[in-house]
Amino acid sequence: MKAEIITIGDEILIGQIVDTNSAYISKELNKIGISVYQITSIQDDREHILEAFAFAKAHAELVIVTGGLGPTKDDITKHTFCEFLNDELVLDQNVLDHVTHLFKTYIKKPMLAANKTQAYVPSTAEVLLNQYGTAPGMWMESDGTIFISMPGVPYEMRGLMENEVIPRLRDRFKLPFILHKTFLTYGMGESAIAEIIEDFENELPSTIKLAYLPSLGRVRLRLSTYGDDQEIVNKMIREQSDKLLPLIGDIFVGYEEEGEFEELIANLLIAQGKTLAIAESCTGGQMVERFTSKSGASRYLKGSLVTYATQSKIDILKVDASVIEEHSVVSAAVAEQMATNARKLYQSDIAISTTGNAGPTKGDSDVPIGTVFIGIATEDGVRSYEFMMGNHRERVMGKTVNKAMELLKGTLEDHQLKK
């Protein structure tokens, strides 16, 4: 089954917001065996919306549309659907009751005429309940193509996908099984990898696709295939995986589908009953944010410090001023003291630290821009690691966080093995 996603909103086309909805929808559709053929973003413009609907209808059996369902005048998706489907808006009493309930219970403000218009839907539309908002989801059909319309507000759209759209698609269609397996590698460029796995790539069956995705110091290698029988699909990928792994053994660090590194680390910490503290300098809070953005971090995270100023490393993290003087603030010695002292301060089992120069200008250290040290302190002592992360600020920060996550995961896995 082929799908197209259409996101509607001037704010996308003028670059005021990044369209994150499409990636979420694509991922969820893929999980149930539906491939996305095209993602199209267009303005809140009647003619253009009609043209995009017609194009999608000609190419896809499922069209998912987000945006343009607000109560204000700039939102025209519903009216345009009526025109496209030769339908008219009718009041849906269930939606009206739901909107009234939301206003009474949560919004606690009088309901306005504009909000009542949200209860009008095309007469042939099946309503999908939007738990988190006043704009309903809608399921419509036109000559065998399904059109699903949802609000563009990400958390409302996600609720609708999870609770309404995905279950209905699964119930109604026998869908194939799509499998992606993504190998995370570190330390080699994509063309060097391509040379190492050249024979493997040439011998891949035509039903399996291989893709290279370089990003922030890593290259991800993705194998993809699909089929009706889940076991056969799994076996096909497993066979290729068994051939690929020995070739990239030195640079392989994990599978993306196992979860993000912060989740894997969280699981390892919880399984081992250990706690974590973080002391960041050059990564400026990006590392702790990765953990706290997921719920449940309080089970293992004691806390973190961003000691951005050199003086705060001395005052708060109790790094020796003499060590900074001797080795510079970007050094193995400082990274190690930061980790050791953060571990003590937070009384955690493990602590990780970063210190480096992300640029664009040199800070309180003379080391070249891009120099980074990562320290890890455990009950067994402290270790540090040195890297050169290039001269692009954003990338230095991102690569350092990725590398620190990898080292932390490795440390926890080693510990697991030793037991």
Tell which positions 397-416 bind a copy of itself, by CB under 8 A: 397
Subset of residues 28 to 47 that bind a copy of itself, contact rule: CB under 8 A? 28-30, 35-44
Taking CB under 8 A as the criterion, the residue among 64, 121, 146, 153 binding a copy of itself is 153
H/E segment holding residue 210: strand 209-215
Subset of residues 325 to 384 that bind a copy of itself, contact rule: CB under 8 A? 345-347, 358-361, 363
User: Residue 173, Cα to own-chain centre: how many angstroms?
Assistant: 28
Minimum distance from residue 417 beta carbon to a copy of itself (Å): 28
CA 319/CA 291 separation, integer angstroms: 25
Residues with Cβ < 8 Å from 242, sequence gap 6 or more?
A: none
Taking CB under 8 A as the criterion, the residue among 97, 394, 410, 414 binding a copy of itself is 394
Give phi and psi for 23, each to the nearest 5.
-65, -45
Subset of residues 262 to 291 that bind a copy of itself, contact rule: CB under 8 A? 278, 283-289, 291
Q: Which is nearer to a copy of itself, 102 or 383 (CB)?
A: 102
Q: Edge to edge, what strands does the sheet with 177-186 contain?
A: 209-215, 218-227, 177-186, 252-255
Q: Which is nearer to a copy of itself, 302 or 327 (CB)?
A: 302
Q: Which is nearer to a copy of itself, 123 or 230 (CB)?
A: 230
Minimum distance from residue 289 beta carbon to a copy of itself (Å): 4
Minimum distance from residue 115 beta carbon to a copy of itself (Å): 5
Minimum distance from residue 42 beta carbon to a copy of itself (Å): 5
Give phi and psi for 85, each to the nearest 5.
-95, 0
Q: Which is nearer to a copy of itself, 141 or 211 (CB)?
A: 211
Minimum distance from residue 51 beta carbon to a copy of itself (Å): 9
Taking CB under 8 A as the criterion, the residue among 46, 79, 318, 395 binding a copy of itself is 395
- Among 9-17, 84-92, 160-168, 403-411, the segment contacting a copy of itself (CB under 8 A): 9-17
DSSP state of 68: -
Minimum distance from residue 124 beta carbon to a copy of itself (Å): 26
Contact 400, 356 (CB under 8 A): yes
Q: How many positions of this chain bind a copy of itself (CB under 8 A)?
A: 109
Subset of residues 81 to 120 that bind a copy of itself, contact rule: CB under 8 A? 106-107, 109, 112-115
CA 36/CA 27 separation, integer angstroms: 9
Strands (E), 28-144: 35-42, 62-66, 89-91, 120-122, 126-128, 137-142
Residues with Cβ < 8 Å from 80, sequence gap 6 or more?
A: 46, 49, 50, 53, 68
Extract the tokens encoding 82: 């009526």
Subset of residues 191 to 230 that bind a copy of itself, contact rule: CB under 8 A? 191-192, 194-195, 201, 209-215, 220, 222, 224
Minimum distance from residue 414 beta carbon to a copy of itself (Å): 26
Half-sphere exposure of 65 (CA within 13 A, CB side): 32
Residue with tokens 């210190």: 355
Q: Which is nearer to a copy of itself, 386 or 413 (CB)?
A: 386
